[in-house]
A and B are shown apart, each in its own frame.
Chain A
Amino acid sequence: MSKLLKKLFYTYYKDIDAGKLLPRDFKRREIGVMLWDKRGMVRHKGFLEKSELSNFIITNAPRHFYHSASLYKSPWIDNMAHKGYYGCDLVFDIDCDHIDTPCKEKHDLWKCKQCGLEGNGLHPKVCPECNHAVFESKGWLCDTCLEKSKSETKKLVEDFLNYDFGIPLDQLHIIFSGHRGYHVHVLNDAFRQLSSESRRELCDFITGTGISLPQIGLNVGSKMINGFTLDDTGWRERIVKYLLHAVQDIKKGKNSLGFEKILVTCISHNAEVLMERIVNKKRNWTLEKVAMGNWTKIIHQLISEARCEIDVPVTIDTHRLIRAPHSLHGRTGFKVVPLAWDELDDFDPFSDPIVFKGKEVMFSTTQRVKEIRIGEEIYGPFEENTQVKIPLETAVFLACKGVGVLS
């Protein structure tokens, strides 16, 4: 099976403009690949010539192709301490794998490695049956998942990196990962010297970790509450904006932030007063018949809606490898697509990154296959061990996902 896929990947890499596959400052980057016929990662590769790198990729037609976010004096040395670290690009990863979307209940499975208990959705912290915490997850993906990834990416780029941190949009490169999410690379060398600890602190800002209501000047606990105004900045302003949004939303009879009932009542009873105070930039948020405990709950919910769900370890670990733009993702056969900010909205992750388009082929499933949209059509669900006739791109996708074989 993998032979066929490798052949397909080869045809892609053979024809692509070699320049596209080169990461920025490629001579200083560590290159890593995963091959079709070997387990584990081949890493600590480094190339000083363009042609050497492209030959390496073409001949191996790797299943996955990565480069380091860091720059090194000698990226090919296999001891991290001796590579000669110069600095590391600031990168962010958003992957719906880490985000709890409602559709996960429908299409994801987990299995306890200890006792074999199975369940739907994200795995629990500990197995309810045997208390162990090691799970095998079988993740699937759908439009809801990828929409969530996209909206989180937009939030990261627009609300945090651009608005709060003032990083110009043209310094932010967005890359579709080829599977479940997006990467954002900050193309500004000034960020390369940030330590891991500083990166963590930055991530804490983006994920809203460690917000202290008293520290930001919101003293709940007494009978009065002094809030923020739209003239405030950072998280203070963000909380007001989300509150305004919530009030408008609830006024329309919706509850898109998912407040519990009592909180919806609190907000809807005071909607007019709240709107007036926010619009007129008043700090007095004290409301009749709203207990301080409920106010605190409302604010915490606003924070959890406003936070951006980045995958923190990716940003703080300066020795990680990240997927190379324009490479192919071995679990989907999709292309890793760089996107300009204004292309993100219209980007369709189930259609635009398709590389291997073609006529219908026979495909044999080796397990149950949940439904999936590829291009304009929805395929599946398919039963285990059945033969189906599907277009090449769908067959490649399913084969890469490991749920069957091209025949």
Chain B
Amino acid sequence: MCRYPFLEAAKEWMRKQDISPLDAFYEHDGMLEIIRGLFDEALSNVEVSTVLKHDNEEILFIYPWLKILLSFLDMPKVVYKMANLLSKHFGSKLDEEKYPHDLVNICHDQGLKVHLLDDGNTLQIRTVLLPFRMYFTDFLPVAVSFKSPAWKLVNRVIKNGYVYLKKHDLARILEERVKQEIIEVMDWEQNQELLDRIMADPLIKPFFKELKAKCKEKVKQFKQWDDNIPVNTAAFPPCINAILEKNMNGQNLAHSERLFLTYFMLTIGQSVDEVLELFKQQPDYNEKIARYQVEFAAGMHGKKTKYKPHNCAKLASLNMCMKDHPKFTNKECTNPRFEFKNPLTIYRRIVRYQEYTQRMEGGTGETGEGDGKKENAKD
């Protein structure tokens, strides 16, 4: 339990300790050091932390504090970086868990209805063992949350209502949970009273100020990385959707299509790994080459330039503009009131518009009618 601070059981234990957040600092010296180290790691894209010691109670105190600090810092990019670090970190630890039973217990703690099969019922596909299973209705939300071909139900091993999973799958599911949990701090309401107390504390106030300054500085550095808002697939422009569909169908992408897709995805905040995940669809996928190319595009090699996605004119010249394609076209792209020069602008505009309408309407749309038809349909 004390290895995984995101567990309900861990949180419950913390509640029982009944230690106010500020007191925790004083009772556990070294905490500030670890937190400082974690921010450093997160901001430099580390994926497995070396400052966090596994099997150490300290993390139970640090984890809630990290979230509080992230919420006070109020810098989305920093939140995403930290979410990435912690999720990858715990993901790799989970992957190393020896006992399948422990993993199942962790899943249950997280409300995931995972069953461990006894040896006789385990499925095996070629050399891969699939000792766990979930009922498909429990798996569907998981598949949806990943938004990746590898997790689509259609590409999964399913038998008699159960989706069969390997150990690494469970680690990935939990990893994603950690990520989401940390991202959620952005929705928190600011606890002004606690902030005031921090700012009045002789030890923590300078620490917090220093942290804030460092984050600000770093964030400025990756300015061109853009807003790092969560990727909203529903807002993709037609040109991107067309490439994604081709990719989804396993069709070979042209070089320019790969480049454009890479630049676009990186700019809207996907990680190198997430972009690579897409290219795994490609029939000639080669992890080493693809990784180098994507990392290059991300400015991690060579002249360290980060590239911007092509603009609309360039796309049109490459026959990659899908504005007039009957299947992919959308209203924003063809709206005569706005002339877009770059697909990124369209993406951002749709994202903002969707957020706006969601806030205004609170969600549900009213549609159609039965025989399963829309109101004006003929049946």
Contact = CB atoms under 8 A, between A and B. Distances in A.
Interface of A: 32, 40-41, 43, 64, 66, 80-81, 85, 93, 95, 97, 125-126, 133, 137, 139, 163-167, 177, 179-181, 183, 190-191, 194-195, 197-198, 200-202, 204-205, 208-217, 219-221, 232-236, 283, 296, 311, 313-314, 317, 319-323, 329, 331
Interface in B11-41: none
B125 A319 contact: no
Nearest to B364: A80
Nearest to A237: B159
A95 B379 contact: yes
Contacts of A81: 361-364
Contact of A166 (B152, B156, B162): B162
Contacts of A219: 283
Given A198-B141, A211-B155, A179 B379 contact: yes
Chain B interface, >50% SS class = loop
Interface in B121-162: 123, 125-126, 136-137, 140-141, 143-144, 149-150, 152-162
Nearest to B164: A233
B120 interface: no
Nearest to B379: A179
Contacts of B355: none
A183 to B, nearest CB: 7
B284 A210 contact: no
A235 B160 CA distance: 13
Contact of B369 (A66, A133, A179): A66
Nearest to A318: B364
A212 B150 CA distance: 8
Contacts of A125: 326-327
Contacts of A194: 137, 140
Contacts, number: 157
Contacts of A320: 367-370, 372
B150 to A, nearest CB: 6
Given A213-B250, A317-B367, A201 B140 contact: yes
A81 B362 CA distance: 8
Nearest to B152: A210
Nearest to B285: A214
A163 B368 CA distance: 31
Contacts of A211: 154-155
A322 to B, nearest CB: 4
Contacts of A331: 379
Nearest to B369: A321
A194 B143 CA distance: 13
B248 interface: yes
Contacts of A232: 125, 157
Given A211-B155, A214-B250, A311-B372, A167 B161 contact: yes
Contacts of B368: 313, 317, 320-321
A191 B138 CA distance: 10
Cβ-closest 9 pairs across A and B: A166-B161, A314-B372, A198-B140, A93-B372, A221-B283, A322-B370, A166-B160, A215-B155, A233-B159
A235 B154 CA distance: 7
A321 B370 contact: yes
Contacts of B248: 210, 212
22 contacts: A133-B326, A165-B158, A166-B161, A167-B161, A198-B137, A198-B144, A200-B144, A201-B144, A201-B153, A205-B152, A210-B248, A213-B250, A216-B155, A221-B284, A233-B123, A233-B157, A235-B155, A313-B367, A314-B370, A317-B368, A319-B365, A322-B371
